[in-house]
Amino acid sequence: MNFISRDTDYAWRALMFMAKNAGEGVVTVDEIVQEEYLPERFLRRIVQKLAKKGILVSHKGKKGGFSFAKSPGKISLIDIIKVFQGNVDFTNCLLKGKVCPNVKKCALRRKLQSISKTVDKELRGITIMSLLKGS
Amino acid sequence: MNFISRDTDYAWRALMFMAKNAGEGVVTVDEIVQEEYLPERFLRRIVQKLAKKGILVSHKGKKGGFSFAKSPGKISLIDIIKVFQGNVDFTNCLLKGKVCPNVKKCALRRKLQSISKTVDKELRGITIMSLLKGS
DNA sequence: TATTAATGATACTATAATAGTATTATTAAT
DNA sequence: ATTAATAATACTATTATAGTATCATTAATA
Ligand code: FES
Ligand code: FES
């Protein structure tokens, strides 16, 4: 059972690489691929998605590439997880496809929601910048 | 992105039902199905697995059914998640299928491992018994 | 303006996980 | 012997994961 998917992982590494090596500047996918040994076409799709979601800016044409749309200090792991894995849901109690009639008073659900909040907060605190400094 | 799978959810409900309605006694799958509206054949496989994993005891033959192998106070959500979803892994950094050369010094990994520990602890604290009382 | 070096969009594929169903065998009480 | 339970195992359908492949578009620059 994996919490972090491959896309999220690769995206994070690409972002870390960009922050470390280019700062505000533009980086091409090829550069990332060469340094991080990630599958090229797959990474292309990943950074394209990051651009669509407003985390990177894409620059087409010669001398193009990608740069940050937000400062690396404002990009947290929860943002990237949401891009590739959707909302993290610790409490998906279902009843044959319908919402459980129990939702409101279910004690398990309440507990899980509280854990969910904690995790969310922790993930929110992990930013590209913080890891760059902290490692 | 779901943290709890259907199996885990159904298993948990079955166990809650058993603890609430039978205590130490034997309960049949049919009884659970009727009260909890779960898909019968699927639930059969689920409780069979719980029996295999030492959480329930199965009693074959007439007047058979399932009973607890461990006291409901000692069955925690993490146990059930492990049965159906394997070990919870918050830190699955992979590099093209090989273990990342970075493993030891990776700051992200360290952070995620710490979150993982917290979640683990919380899930360990949620037992059938505690929810039965607490709700 | 033609070339080149970049991204964009979209479709395709393979494998595994999830969420079940179906069938036949075994066991134990009565 | 009958009956009421579980055991084992195989099957199926759908979705998620982890990619690959192809062709179009854009912008710098020689
Ligand atoms: S059983 Fe439905 S919300 Fe908990
Ligand atoms: S990048 Fe490999 S363990 Fe973090």
> Exposed, middle or buried by CB within 10 Å (0-12, 13-18, 19+), for B59?
middle
Of A80-94, B28-42, B50-64, B113-127, least confident by mean pLDDT is A80-94
Atom of ligand 2 nearest to the CA of A9: 1
Which whole number is the average pLDDT over B51-61? 98
Indicate whether A1 belongs to any domain. Answer: no
Structural domains counted in chain B = 1
Provide φ and ψ at A67, rounded to 5°: -135, 170
Taking a C-beta distance cutoff of 8 angstroms, is the pair B29, B47 a contact? yes
Cβ < 6 A, ligand 2 pocket: B 93, 100, 102-103, 106, 108-109
Q: Convert the pLDDT of each residue in A1-49 to its tens digit.
A: 889 999 999 999 999 999 999 988 999 999 999 999 999 999 999 999 9
Indicate whether B92 belongs to any domain. Answer: yes
Query: Does the Cβ of A102 fall within 6 Å of ligand 1?
Result: yes
Taking 90 as the threshold, does the pLDDT of residue A105 lie above it? no
Indicate whether A42 belongs to any domain. Answer: yes
Q: Where are the alpha helices (DSSP H) in B53-106?
A: 77-85
Strand C interface, B 103-122, C-beta < 7 A = none
Instruction: Please name every residue paired with A95 in a beta bridge, in sequence order, or none if there are none.
Output: A98
Which two tokens mark A100? 């459980």
Indicate whether A28 belongs to any domain. Answer: yes
Taking a C-beta distance cutoff of 8 angstroms, is the pair B73, B19 a contact? no
Taking a C-beta distance cutoff of 8 angstroms, is the pair A28, A65 a contact? yes
Atom of ligand 1 nearest to the CA of A108: 4
Can you give the pLDDT at residue B90?
Answer: 86
Proximal ligand: closest to the CA of A103: 1
Nearest CA in chain A to B12: A108
Can you give the pLDDT at residue B100?
Answer: 65
Q: What is the DSSP string of chain B?
A: -BSS-HHHHHHHHHHHHHHHHTTTS-B-HHHHHHHH---HHHHHHHHHHHHHTTSEEEE-STT-EEEESS-GGG-BHHHHHHHHH-S-BS---EETTEEPTTTTT-HHHHHHHHHHHHHHHHHHH-BHHHHHHH-
Taking 90 as the threshold, does the pLDDT of residue A80 lie above it? yes
Indicate whether A30 belongs to any domain. Answer: yes
Can you give the pLDDT at residue B16?
Answer: 94
Taking 60 as the threshold, does the pLDDT of residue B9 lie above it? yes
Strand C closer than 7 A to residue A45 Cβ: yes
Q: Convert the pLDDT of each residue in B17-40 to its tens digit.
A: 999 999 889 999 999 999 999 999
Indicate whether A124 belongs to any domain. Answer: yes
**B-interface mutation test, from A80, A85, A115, most B Cβ less than 10 A away:** A115
Q: Cβ contact (<8 Å) for B1 and A89?
A: yes
A5 vs A104, more confident: A5
Can you give the pLDDT at residue A135?
Answer: 46
Can you give the distance from the CA of residue B41 to the C1' of nucleotide C22 in angstroms?
Answer: 9
Strand D closer than 7 A to residue B65 Cβ: yes
Indicate whether B79 belongs to any domain. Answer: yes
Indicate the average pLDDT of chain A.
90
Q: What is the CATH number of the domain that holds A72?
A: 1.10.10.10
Can you give the pLDDT at residue A96?
Answer: 39
Reduced to 3 states (helix: H, G, I; strand: E, B; else coil), residue B4 is coil
Q: What is the DSSP string of A37-100?
A: ---HHHHHHHHHHHHHTTSEEEE-STT-EEEESS-GGG-BHHHHHHHHH-S-BS---EETTEEP
List the domain range (segments joined by +) for residue A109.
6-134
Place of tokens 């404002």: A74
Taking 60 as the threshold, does the pLDDT of residue B135 lie above it? no
Indicate whether B122 belongs to any domain. Answer: yes
Q: Does B99 touch chain A (CB under 8 A)?
A: no
Atom of ligand 2 nearest to the CA of B101: 2
Taking a C-beta distance cutoff of 8 angstroms, is the pair B59, B67 a contact? yes
Instruction: Please name every residue paired with A65 in a beta bridge, in sequence order, or none if there are none.
Output: A59
Q: Convert the pLDDT of each residue in B96-109 to its tens digit.
A: 444 566 767 778 88
**B-interface mutation test, from A92, A109, A114, most B Cβ less than 10 A away:** A92
Measured distance CA(B18)–CA(B68) in Å, rounded: 8
